[in-house]
Amino acid sequence: MFSSLGDVIKDMIMSWNKNVIINQDLLNMQERIASKIFDEAVKVEKKGLLFILRAPTGSGKSEVFLAPYFWQWIRGEFFSPRMYLVEPLHALLGHFRDRVQRYVDSLSRKIGLKISIGEDHGETVKSTYLYGALITLTTVDAYVYGYAAKRVQVWRTRGGAVTGRYTMPTGLIVSSLSIFDEAHLIQDEVFLAPRLISRIVCYLVSSGAIVLISSATLPMYLEKLLVRDTCGNSFQETWKGPGRNIIIDTRQRRLQDSILQDLSCERNNLIIVNTIERAQKVYKAVKEKCRESKVYLVHSLMRKEDRERSLESLKELKGRYGKSEDSREAKDNAKITLIGTQALEVGLDYDFDVLYTELAPIDSIIQRIGRVGRRGRRGEAIIYLDLEHHAPYYQALIDESKKIIKGLPSMNLDDPNNISDLVNQVYKETLIEELSDRGNILYIKFIEYIKDLHLLAYPPQRVFTLRPSFYIYLSLIRSSDMKEVDKDYIVDRDSIEKGLIKYSISMLRDHAFERLLNILKKIRDRDALYIVKDFIWDDRSGKESFKIEKISSNNDQEISDAIHRRETFVIILDEIKDLYEPSLGLDYTSISTAEEKPVRREGTRRR
């Protein structure tokens, strides 16, 4: 059935899109690189291996880095029993899982290959520390904290006793194939995460792990850092795509002021802005204008269930209009406008005709442009250069990117060298040093933590952070999801996870913290705020649930302390209907506070 890696790759492509026309030259390139990965991986003994793949969006990177893993099962020559697919954004893990599941199902039907697939979003309500399926899709944060954080998971049994187990996720990672997809999105405003990831990759590779870094816009500084720090063999591959040139139109005005005038509801549109507040305002306006079209909004302040429903609607439309003989005509009749924030920069497998985007760092702009003009369709990108505020990006990064973008009449997305030149013109050594200097203390804390991290021992008492920010988990549930048992309030795990929102709080500014405190106080005053207290495992039924406890005190410090402890909050949806809508998410304007002000926090210094 499968006589070569090329056959496996072709089957993967056809299982995802049966109507696709195979580009034989591209397939040959994919097979050559996938074969090199496999051949080098099976030779690994003491030292591990680092692969860096640089290729444009839509050129088949996914098949290249997945095929060697499947090929080992077909050939019976194994190098890694497990695989971690590490994505930069948790919001789109489900979409990529569907794709991998399609690949596995096709192989299962043809050769009986059975491989389990799971997700680990790193939810703090019940950490799994990367224990799951043979193929686990996870986020960068969950991967790193699974590697370095607390390794003893405890829970309360049905009889009330506390028990637990010791875990060794590092052993799992070292013996697995780890793939960092869209690695350039690991960046942050103080260049902390790239430095930490490069060190962790070094530790893993030196212990025998096989790590693959994949990106369309990997900056030279990050590539050098990875290669410099890697304690093992490293290989780099670059290839061009089939040919895609996007027309660029830059406009010296603000997107929110011009979008209704510029937007055509008769096209498939993608609108990406830099903040949730603007995304919601644009969504309301476009929804009113394009009443005959499908208009969706996706951002991080939506319940997991609601966010995935929007993405599922897109997938259903794609499936409905993408598999018949009249697929192109039918798809042209299904006009869609998708609006969102940075979460839409990667992972979308839908053909958009035109992109409307706010100015952002050059690598983000390239990723956004990569969402249009796919599969041979004509693509156009309109970039609005005026911003109300540079947040959430660093001002110097925005300024340098603007200089480059202003002079671009078009962009050849299928030439990695051309893309790298654009990225490297912005991410110069002086700018990287400026970014890094603001996060050096946080980086030193990580190094100190790792030095004190030992096998078969509790981790160090000190803490570290992957980014200059941290997440607070909010779970918005319905009152019917909550049961009262022996005067305790119990919620099942499924309800908690469906309602999850990951709220990011910067360690460099106070505004996000104050905004969260503000909304939680409002919710407490409506008797709708709870905290997760215990994880409960029922031995008989095998069901997982959580004990939650109401916050009823008028002491604001209690809520503030709970945020600092990074507790998981549970909110009753029935009591906040004016603050949350399924299609809109948590209403940003209703929870906004004063204009953000930078503050001195641990990990920064005065300049």
Are the CB atoms for 219 and 245 separated by under 8 Å?
no
The residue among 429, 378, 386 whose CA lies nearest residue 405 is 386
From the first residue on, what is the mean pLDDT of each consecutive set of 10 residues in the chain (607 residues)?
92 87 89 95 85 83 93 93 86 78 93 87 55 84 78 59 59 89 82 90 88 85 78 80 82 96 94 95 96 91 91 72 45 79 79 93 90 77 94 91 90 82 90 90 89 69 83 95 92 94 87 91 94 86 90 90 94 92 88 47 37
CA distance 131 to 393: 34
Q: pLDDT value at position 125? A: 45
Q: pLDDT value at position 598? A: 44
Are the CB atoms for 604 and 439 separated by under 8 Å?
yes
Q: pLDDT value at position 159? A: 63
Residue 575: helix, strand or coil by DSSP?
helix
What contacts 196, CB < 8 A, 6 or more positions away?
144, 443, 446, 466
- CB-CB neighbours of 442 under 10 Å: 23
49-54 β-sheet, strand order: 117-120, 135-139, 82-87, 176-180, 210-215, 49-54, 233-238
Are the CB atoms for 123 and 132 separated by under 8 Å?
no
CA distance 31 to 40: 14
CA distance 146 to 144: 5
CA distance 478 to 458: 38
CA distance 3 to 62: 20
Q: pLDDT value at position 322? A: 44
Q: pLDDT value at position 321? A: 44
CA distance 280 to 584: 7
- CB-CB neighbours of 115 under 10 Å: 19
CA distance 143 to 260: 41
- CB-CB neighbours of 350 under 10 Å: 19
CA distance 234 to 455: 27
CA distance 490 to 257: 47
CA distance 177 to 37: 11
Q: pLDDT value at position 392? A: 87
Are the CB atoms for 173 and 84 separated by under 8 Å?
yes
C-alpha torsion angle, residues 303, 306, 311, 316 (rounded to 10): 160
Are the CB atoms for 489 and 449 separated by under 8 Å?
no
CA distance 193 to 140: 9
Q: pLDDT value at position 464? A: 80
Q: Which two tokens mark 527? A: 């008797």
What's the angle, vertex CA 54, arms to CA 237 and CA 319, rounded to 5?
120
Instruction: Look at the pTM and tell me if it is higher than 0.85.
Output: no
Domains of the chain: 5-238 (3.40.50.300), 245-415 (3.40.50.300), 469-591 (no CATH)
**What is the residue-wise DSSP string for 301-339?**
TS-HHHHHHHHHHHHHHHHHHHSSTTHHHHHHHS-EEEE
What contacts 275, CB < 8 A, 6 or more positions away?
341, 391, 392
- CB-CB neighbours of 596 under 10 Å: 16
First to last CA, the chain: 63
